[in-house]
Structure 1
Amino acid sequence: QEQFRQAEISALMDTGYFIERAERLYGYPNFICDTGGSICEWVDGDDPGDPLLTELSRHCLLVYIEGSEAHTAELVRRFDRAPKPMAYQPEFLARMWEEYLRENKCKADEVDPDAFIRWTYARALAHRQPRYERMAKWGVRVSADEVAQATDAARFDALIATAIERRAD
């Protein structure tokens, strides 16, 4: 977990370098930094001096894609079908571990890792939601439904322009 945290933070802190490189090497005039969901575990959206959010904001417009309950249910369904590794704050993971052991009346060496991670996933999404909300103050908001309608570059640009206008209101 700690190794992943450090790697993700380091990669995100290099965003400015990657933007410059993409333009210099490939002539890309635009750059989308699609972070993993675990970014919310490493930042404090309430801290105006948060180092990672400050650095990202220097180079990018942060866009929070807000999902509905139906989107969350779909994420949980997909995860249940094909679990993937996730990064968690150590305190959250320890709390979930103890809760899982208690709820399932089992010992640590009896835990099915896949069952534990599936059990934890929906709780992790709920845990992260307020963190995403605090991060959203650093940029603009769009709904997942709006993003689904942005099927080409012009529609995507229009969506972001609309989100910027909404923020200004």
Structure 2
Amino acid sequence: MRMTPQEFLRWDAKRITLLGMSGVGKTTLANKLPKAEWFHYSGDYRIGTKYLEEPILDNIKRQAMQVPFLRDLLRSDSIYICSNITVENLAPIATFLGKVGDPAQGGLPLAEFKRRQALHRQAEIAAMLDVPEFIDKAREIYGYRHFVNDAGGSVCELDAPEVLETLAEHTLILYLKTTPELEQTLIERARRNPKPLYYREEFLDRQLAEFLAERGYASADQIPPDEFVAWVFPRLFHSRLPRYQAIADRYGYVIDASEAAKVRDEQDFLQLVADSLAAKEAPSRNE
């Protein structure tokens, strides 16, 4: 979706998609918009509560069944298990994704890890294709005037053109671009606290082969899970940046993450977006 700054500011029912790395500030920015006016659609929340709900619960139950006390209660239907996923707490999704590596250290065998990665990809595609339906629901059922799609950090990895076409048709796509300072913060955070991640299979295979050769492990089952995630995150980070930029170049606009962090309220947000649209408009006028 393309428009001038003036068209955006006059747009009566604004529909925004926020793209960018996890941790760059998408959810923080969305939460600064008035909750009475803006419907906050979280791609990750939709994934966890709809498309991966059963696999997530099965994974939790599988772990619980290894505890005799819980196993007996589950088998007798004396207790039930549910996940309490919220927009701010997506831990059950991360727990399901897991980390490839030595099972004795909490890792997943490579085949199982790839199976879960494939399920996550399918779920993320489905969650993004749901955006038009939720735009209508937000307005017709709940009475929200505006809509913001807080997309997951791995949308750029999906290699699913229909997702980007759908988002571009129904929303204004904004890419929150990291600054060098924020980049180092995110990389250091990942090193201190490695978290499960989604990888394109081709990228995963290439990085795993290099990691095994560099560290001298014979197979993926010998890898300390946290060691691999901490090692691969900077590579994943830098591989995603040109993908995000390509999406913005073709379909949307760029917002500097440091400027987004200064946003205090809706008015600041709207002005920031209008400035981004104007910045992209300027070079074309000068050509």
Structure-2-length-normalised TM-score: 0.55
How many residue pairs end up in the alignment? Answer: 164
Opposite residue 140 of structure 1, the aligned amino acid is Y
Aligned 8 A contact 2:191 2:230 in 1: yes
RMSD: 1.2
Counterpart in the other structure of 1:147: 260
Q: Give deviations 1:28-61, integer Å, cap 9, x for gaps.
A: 11111111121111137xxxxx311110011111
Matched residue of 2:198: which SS? Answer: coil
Aligned 8 A contact 1:62 1:136 in 2: yes
Opposite residue 146 of structure 2, the aligned amino acid is N
Counterpart in the other structure of 1:47: none
Opposite residue 4 of structure 1, the aligned amino acid is H
Point out where structure 2 has 5 or more consecutive residues left out of the alignment. Answer: 1-116, 283-287
Point out where structure 1 has 5 or more consecutive residues left out of the alignment. Answer: 45-49
1:16 alignment partner, one of 126, 129, 132: 132
Counterpart in the other structure of 2:195: 84
Q: Does 1:161 align with 2:274?
A: yes
Which structure's residues are more often helix, by fraction? 1
What is the alpha-carbon distance in structure 2 between the residues aligned to residue 59 and residue 85 of structure 1? 30
What is the alpha-carbon distance in structure 2 between the residues aligned to residue 166 and residue 86 of structure 1? 33
What is the alpha-carbon distance in structure 1 between the residues aligned to residue 170 and residue 129 of structure 2? 10
Q: Name the stretch that deviates more: 125-134 or 91-100.
A: 125-134
What is the alpha-carbon distance in structure 1 between the residues aligned to residue 188 and residue 226 of structure 2? 14
Greater Rg by CA: 2
Aligned 8 A contact 1:43 1:53 in 2: no
Matches within 5 A, 1:19-168: 19-43=135-159, 50-108=161-219, 109-137=221-249, 138-168=251-281
Matched residue of 1:83: which SS? Answer: coil
1:165 CA drift (Å) = 1.2
Aligned 8 A contact 1:76 1:122 in 2: yes
What is the alpha-carbon distance in structure 1 between the residues aligned to residue 192 and residue 170 of structure 2? 36
1:133 CA drift (Å) = 1.3
Opposite residue 8 of structure 1, the aligned amino acid is E
Identity of matched residues, %: 36
What is the alpha-carbon distance in structure 1 between the residues aligned to residue 124 and residue 184 of structure 2? 26
Opposite residue 33 of structure 1, the aligned amino acid is N
1:80 CA drift (Å) = 2.4
Q: Name the stretch that deviates more: 88-97 or 15-24.
A: 15-24
1:167 CA drift (Å) = 1.5
What is the alpha-carbon distance in structure 2 between the residues aligned to residue 67 and residue 18 of structure 1? 28
Q: Give deviations 1:107-147, integer Å, cap 9, x for gaps.
A: 22321011111111111001111111111111011101110
Q: Name the stretch that deviates more: 76-85 or 2-11.
A: 76-85
Aligned 8 A contact 2:139 2:145 in 1: yes
Aligned 8 A contact 1:66 1:143 in 2: yes
What is the alpha-carbon distance in structure 2 between the residues aligned to residue 82 and residue 25 of structure 1? 40
What is the alpha-carbon distance in structure 2 between the residues aligned to residue 69 and residue 162 of structure 1? 21
